[in-house]
């Protein structure tokens, strides 16, 4: 039960990260404005309080990404995204697990080995300058453990990778539709095989080049994966509210603060395991 609980908690953490980052910008008329050689630093942090089948799990993590504009074309930017720092702290069943990518002693831990293929490895992407949608162009390497995941953290990283650098970069941009005034609302939505998302926006204020936006969203997600020979099916609904500060001249988000409530369940080994979570996340982009 202890091993199963760790597997479930790790995958749940990754599922939440995926839900938070895998977004797309609104379909808008304005364009994102970047310049060749420009470097952007994204500092993301997230804390979670999770209850799963009577077990409480507290998790806090942070990550830093370096995004660089390599070239500029008429309709897009060629960019790279690199995960440069990662910290994880998890408290579950009275046991604490931690990882800090800047500590040499953590690099040989199970978590450290799981993050080894992600840290300081650049992913190439194309960023559509009219929508803010990033698409990875770097071919993904197949994991040596694809056939049978060796440990829970490997399973977590596979799920985390499905959000990937494209989802992280997407969250760094937010455009406002032409003609929108203070107090006006607009919406967007996206559907794929894994999730359905609906987002509603309100333009709260404009001060100089900075616009304050309030966003609410509902994400219904269905994920299936296999870890240690076990198939796990997860159904979840995430309701969130975010405060966003974006530069209206470039479309680049300066700050994003989100509070989310998640409810759902795992189906594994013939059992249904309910879960709920409260999530707080913050992003600062420079």
Cα dihedral: 140, 146, 152, 157 (round 10): 10
pLDDT, residue 65, reads 92
pLDDT, residue 112, reads 79
Whole-number average pLDDT of the chain: 80
State the pLDDT confidence band at 145, using cuts at 50, 70 and 90.
Answer: very low
Chain segment 251-280, per-residue pLDDT in tens: 999 999 999 998 988 887 888 889 888 989
Chain segment 41-76, per-residue pLDDT in tens: 999 998 888 888 778 888 888 989 999 999 999 999
Q: What is the pTM of this model?
A: 0.83
Distances (CA, A) of 149 to 161, 184, 202, 231: 14, 48, 43, 12
pLDDT, residue 164, reads 59
Neighbours of 108 (CB within 10 A): 9
Please say whether the beta carbons of 152 and 6 come within 8 A. yes
| Domains annotated on the chain, with CATH | 2-285 (2.30.230)
| pLDDT at position 250 over 80 | yes
């Amino acid at each position: 039960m202890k091993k199963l609980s760790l597997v479930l908690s790790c995958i749940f953490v990754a599922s939440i990260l995926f839900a938070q980052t895998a977004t797309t910008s609104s379909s808008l008329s304005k364009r994102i404005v970047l310049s060749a050689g420009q470097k952007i630093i994204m500092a993301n942090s997230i804390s979670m309080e999770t209850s799963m089948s009577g077990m409480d799990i507290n998790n806090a993590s942070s990550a830093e990404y370096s995004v660089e504009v390599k070239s500029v074309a008429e309709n897009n930017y060629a960019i790279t995204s690199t995960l440069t720092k990662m910290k994880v702290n998890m408290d579950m069943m009275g046991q604490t697990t931690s990882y800090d990518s800047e500590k040499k002693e953590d690099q040989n831990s199970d978590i450290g080995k799981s993050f080894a293929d992600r840290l300081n490895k650049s992913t190439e992407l194309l960023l559509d300058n009219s929508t803010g949608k990033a698409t990875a162009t770097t071919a993904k390497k197949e994991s040596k453990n694809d056939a049978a995941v060796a440990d829970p953290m490997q399973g977590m990283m596979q799920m985390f990778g499905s959000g990937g650098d494209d989802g992280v970069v997407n969250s760094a941009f937010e455009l406002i539709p032409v003609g929108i005034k203070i107090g006006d609302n607009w919406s967007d939505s996206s559907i794929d095989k894994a999730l359905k998302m609906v987002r509603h926006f309100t333009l709260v204020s404009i001060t100089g080049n900075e616009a304050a936006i309030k966003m609410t969203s509902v994400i219904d997600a269905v994920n299936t994966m296999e870890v240690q020979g076990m198939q796990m099916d997860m159904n979840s609904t995430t309701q969130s509210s975010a405060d966003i500060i974006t530069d209206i001249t470039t479309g680049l988000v300066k700050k994003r603060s989100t509070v989310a409530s998640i409810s759902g369940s795992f189906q594994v080994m013939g059992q249904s395991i309910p879960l709920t979570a409260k999530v707080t996340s913050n992003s600062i982009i420079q």
